[in-house]
Amino acid sequence: MANRDHYMQVAKQIADYCNSFRLAFKTYQVSDFDAMIRSVAGDGARVSGADTSEQLRSALLERGFTIYPAIEDAEDGYVRVIRTGSLVANLLNAFRYVGSNGDTELANLLNHIKRRQRSDDLEGVNQDT
């Protein structure tokens, strides 16, 4: 049976992968998580149950990542691991958590995105003019 250390090992594998490629998000099949947990905890381990998915979610959160949608809500078997604090996470949270200032916060975030200049937008533009 998988314990907290096993979930932390899987979370570390996922975080290390995302960190090594500087990824803000990565899509996984739930079966990938099951295979990862089995490799560290044995054949009976899996993450697709409500309690076990919560343990992986918690371990990933400690590493600075969240899962969307929740594993138990992934009808098509796919979830996205998202770096907390990233632009993608902030946008997702602005849509998911509506509060009294929710529209203002979402509008500010969208305006920030719209104003961002990407380096590839500047290619071929004369910087002197």
Torsion over CA: 15, 11, 79, 65 (sign): negative
Torsion over CA: 1, 71, 60, 80 (sign): positive
Same domain, 43 and 106: no
Same domain, 78 and 97: no
Same domain, 53 and 79: yes
Same domain, 69 and 104: no
Same domain, 45 and 60: yes
In a domain, 106, yes or no: yes
Q: How many domains does the chain have?
A: 2
Same domain, 58 and 98: no
Band of the pLDDT at 125, cuts 50, 70, 90?
A: very low
Interval 50-74: pLDDT, tens: 788 999 999 999 999 999 999 999 9
Question: Could you tell me the residue range of the domain that residue 78 belongs to?
Answer: 4-83
